[in-house]
Structure 1
Amino acid sequence: MKSLIKYIFIVVVLATNLFADGFIVIPRPNPLPNPFPLEVVYHKVDVEIDGQSAVTKIDQSFYNPSQYQLEGFYIFPIPKGAVINNFTMLINGKETKAELLDADKARKIYEDMVRQMRDPALLEYSEQNIFKLRIFPIEPRSEKKISISYSQVLESDNNLFEYIYPLNTEKFSAKPLKNVSVKVDVKSSEQIKNIYCPTHEVDIVNKDDNHSIISYESENVRPDIDFKLYFSKNASTVGLSLFSYQTGNDDGFFLLSASPSIEIDKSNIETKDITFILDVSGSMSGQKLEQAKKALLYCINNLNTGDHFNVVRFSTEAYSLFNSLKLADRQNIKEAKIFIDDLQAIGGTNIEEAFTLAFKNYTESNRPHFVVFLTDGKPTIGEMNDEKLVKRILNANKSKSRIFTFGIGDEINTHLLDKLTDETKAWRTYVSDEEDIEIKVSNFYDKIQSPVLSDLKLNFENIKVYQTYPKDLPDLFNGSNLLVFGRYKGNGNVKVSLTGKLNGQIKEFTLNGKLRNDYKEYNFIPPLWASRRIGHLLDLIRLNGEDKELVDEVTMLAREHGIITPYTSYLIMEDEEIRVRGGRLVDDFQTIPPAPELKKENEADYFRMKDKSGRGSVEVSEEFQSLNSATNYSQTQQGNERLSYTNSKGEIKNLSQQVKNVLGRAVYQQEKFWVDSELQNREMKNAKRIQFNSDEYFVLLNKEPETAQFLALGQNVRFYHNNVFYEVYE
């Protein structure tokens, strides 16, 4: 133990809540005067989950770019309370034994590293046991391949299972990882439902009801957040799962997941009515029309048995394939193919007549009715004012049919299309000139091809819920996973009921759950809820005009939850500048550093909301919809490539990389200090200044272990904890 205290760490790859790849400690004396990180060549994770048993296998390769042969120790932190079985480690193919050290010994190692290195990043692991082993030699300019495997039993919370794999390397990796991949193969004797990853964009392949493969892969990235995966087991046709997060006396946050079976019986798939409306004006000529025709043919060829359909084409005038929706049988599909094949682009754009004809030729039935509308232009004939046109279309839509819109190119009226989708509980899609219309439309149709439930309603007994998103529930489709985020008051047992229509009959699915007091396990829920509410509010501002109360709420939510986009960063900078000038906010508590050039650029982004057409208008619409439907962290970071600026030292920074979520709230890097957003909401009655690396610093760490999450951010941190304002300084 004493000899290990003399070492400094040279690289940390992964370490966090459930399991961590380790880091390498290089001993003094020199040859190396200063620590530097070894490069991670690749990082591959394969996980097999069978029932509740999970086996994780990790392959990674470190590269020593120096000219020296090095000796080091590999340290592998183990989360508090984790039960590990069959831990094995191979170094360049040779099995090596690792020594297990308990948390007390591990904490001593971490603290001594912090004292010597003056880097507190390791403190977040101060409550964990570790595996430790010696690595020698680490040859100059060569790779050291390390393989680890371990098994564990996943815990169940109301039949909800959680698997976490850490990908938190940003603090320690000198260079982006060349390749990182995580593959999770889940099998179960029971039906698997509600597969959800809140942290990463994953690909989910459902082999059948009992077997799914979830994968994530990226290149040249610095992963800075753990990989989290949730799933449930449920034999019901529609499975429900409930997550909650609550701290102190504040109202809680919840997430409800509704997921239908994969192998669903045809009797549980709702037949649908669908009308396709296609713009064939002159501007659609050439490749655009050819792609649109292929897209329509794909949809027609994939209609389900029992579906009814129609096709309306419009330019100067509108024409309908049938006078009413027809059954998708062989003869009617044949006529539709001939109709589509004969389409030619010529004339103006009469959107009003197209919708009038579409709804005139529709007779309401027990089946849900979807309208798929494709256009590349603004109306040039008939009603051309977007507000009046929307009203006329909605008045004609007496059955409240869903209107899904596709805007092709940039010369379209985004306000028109977005109001139609918003009012009818549908969604919008935009296709740039570089994208393929056929691919976009066919991907969309695959999602809505088989409705399972329509006209959804959600009820919570014993608990009051509010500000739920999506605000209006969409229909539930086979292969989908409906996620509903919201707030709740109180806590305790709750019965959740989801009702909907299936072929005219009311179906109900229930879940008995519990919303707990002061429960912090699912800390991903608040920022995702905030993203959805912010997206919703920004859309209201964009489509209906600016409102001070809405702007103030967007500013507050974005700051508290770290939803930093070009639009919200402008609002936060403007708000904090005004309050600093007025003496209502001290400089030390500002969250976003003053950056005049960036503010000017973000201001231009914000006021693009008023544009109704053009590339900027399309970009705003797409980014707001992504915020309003966010299911993972990356989707909350819209426009992050437009957040770069030069700080006072001449360094290029990006605002999106200067915010972290700690204990359910956002903490910002403001020049050299990390600043807790909660400080703007509290009176500073009790304040303590503590010097980094002092005896008092480590006393705080041991007395208040939760503060390690703040202290790990850096040497200079301002934060609020247990009614005390702490300022840690160098």
Structure 2
Amino acid sequence: MNRTIQSLLLRSAFMTSVIFAIASISTHVSAAGLLKPVNQQYQDLIIESHHVDVVIADGYATTQIEQVFFNPNAMDLETIYSFPVPSKAAVGEFTYWIDGNPVTGEVLEKREAREVYNEQKSQGNEAALVEQDDYKTFDISVYPVRANDKVKIRLVYVQATHTDTGIGRYQYPLEEGGVDEAKQSFWTRNETVEQSFQFNLTLRSNYPIDGLRLPNQPNAVVNQLSSQEYQVSLSNLSNQASNQMSNEVTLEGTKLSTENQTAFTLNQDIIAYWRYTPGLPGALDMVTYKATPEEKGTFLLTLTPAMDLQPLQQGRDWVFVLDISGSMQGKYSTLVEGVRQAMGKLTADDRFRVILFNDRTKELTHGYDAVTPENINRVLNKLDNITPNNGTNLYAGVEKALKNLDADRATGIILVTDGVANVGVTEKKDFLTLLEKADVRLFSFIMGNQSNRPLLEGMTKVSQGFYQEVSNADDILGQVLLATGKLNHEALRDIQIDIDGVRVKDLTPSDIGTLYRGQQLHIAGHYWKGGAADVRISGKIGGEKKVYETTIQFPETETRYPELERIWAYTAIEALLEQQDYLGESQDTKQAIIDIAKEYSLVTDYTSMIVVRDSVFEEKGIARSNQRRVENERLAREVRATQPVQNHRADTNKPLYTHSRPSVGSGGGGGSINGFILPMIAALYILRRRKRS
């Protein structure tokens, strides 16, 4: 069956724009933690232990978090644990220990799940609930935490992994963006792990790795097992105490002397980078899951293009659009430092403007200024004397930036904001319409775990630009370098993918758009019968059509990767949500999202995961479908852990590309990971010294 995926929007303009959506380092940072209503007199519940195990392999990452909470009060209490929503993550397992036995949650519609939880809570019975608070947080409610007793929970989520210009990145989000004022005013937060914090990461790659590091984590221990396998451990315990502890969190806990431990605060993201060996070929990889020959299978294709994109040479106009609203207090010094760094990258052939916005807009320059030290210093001095205040009229800032563009020059619009629009036009559809009319490319840095990611991603997609997510724990300069490589090179546009010879369906994304230098493309879908399939990928670079062809093999059965079903379901739900952005919420679309979420047991805006006693599940007729799915996934993970690193390259017999894939360094070539990292460390050191001074 022939299946074509065509880009939704075809644009010919050469104007480009860039978003830096920053929720940056501040003097007080909200974080993952236990919530307590303001002005309540009882003692805070305690996070006794927080253990994280991450496995990055086979094209996706599996993150497992086990926690033990302790109630030091003389009465039973409810506990609520809140943490940022991980990007592109499908939350599929939530387990709560009742009477010492693990009970796995099941997905219901959101209102129904909340009703079951409240009913059990009112009866004094054990219950736990996972809900998604829009794009901001996942909130876990557990009742009861008995007086002077503890409870244990486990959460597991999966997400496809991405590399950019030969650099892989994993983020364990902990820091919140501090943009949810209503939540902050109602709750106080305990974000301290009192006893045991452990973070373990295993990286298994079918391509050789040049190096791996965790920025801002000097106590992290990195062990290279081979050129394709690394292990990372991070703990608040001394090595001796850590070695004495099991990776499994126990309800009994482990008594440790204060000499061996320090409290760990969940207020900073943990980032892991790995770099692939330079000179690797462009390739097409595939991972599949098909339980039996009779059932439909699920596949995940990962396209890593070769380096066919040439550098652009012409000078550009740059418009800096800077958020000076009240929510940027504490982040503003980082904003100015970011602008300082960006202006230092401009060339003598460039020009620049600066626009400020809070609840209104103001232009700091008069038209375009030439790039000279005098002009740059004058603007930076003005920025140093500004105090952020008032609301955020993001729409007005973007709208002003799109005016007075010079049609004879390429234009980059750099928007620095935390991405939360609360004044003037705030509907996502209006932002998308504005950009459709403007006919520009939008390139986004989405920085901060509570930035309005759906809004900024949608704005990026409608303009066929790109976005990069950046955490305060990132090597910021490194992220800027990756973005610069895209802005300064051609892009592959009007992409089509045809698969013949095997019946495939339900492909996501259905609208690919554009690929920029260093980007990967992930395509998930279903297939019904194994066999050889011809794959044809076409697009345009400039005005020239490019075609890449290969033949790949779909297996009749493959049982090692059941998590792929949840990854496909997540991307299918994303597509339906994007459809709602254009057409508005309809009952049909909402029901389709609910149906997929319930079939594949995912937490969404419309569905939640509930845990009750087995007898209550049976009494209410709630099927244990997720329990069976979780058991299957756990068994598959155990099997994979005993096997060597797998090779998932699908185009080996007929390579798609003859060139190597781009990597960080001069041109598309090599350079050591130290050469890549050291400039970033220096830049971050200067930035943070300025913040502390």
TM-score range, shorter chain: 0.3 to 0.5
| Larger of the two Rg values belongs to structure | 1
Higher relative contact order (CA 8 A, sep 6+): 2
- The structure with the greater share of residues assigned to helix is 1
Q: Tell me the TM-score normalised to structure 2 length.
A: 0.43
Q: Tell me the TM-score normalised to structure 1 length.
A: 0.41
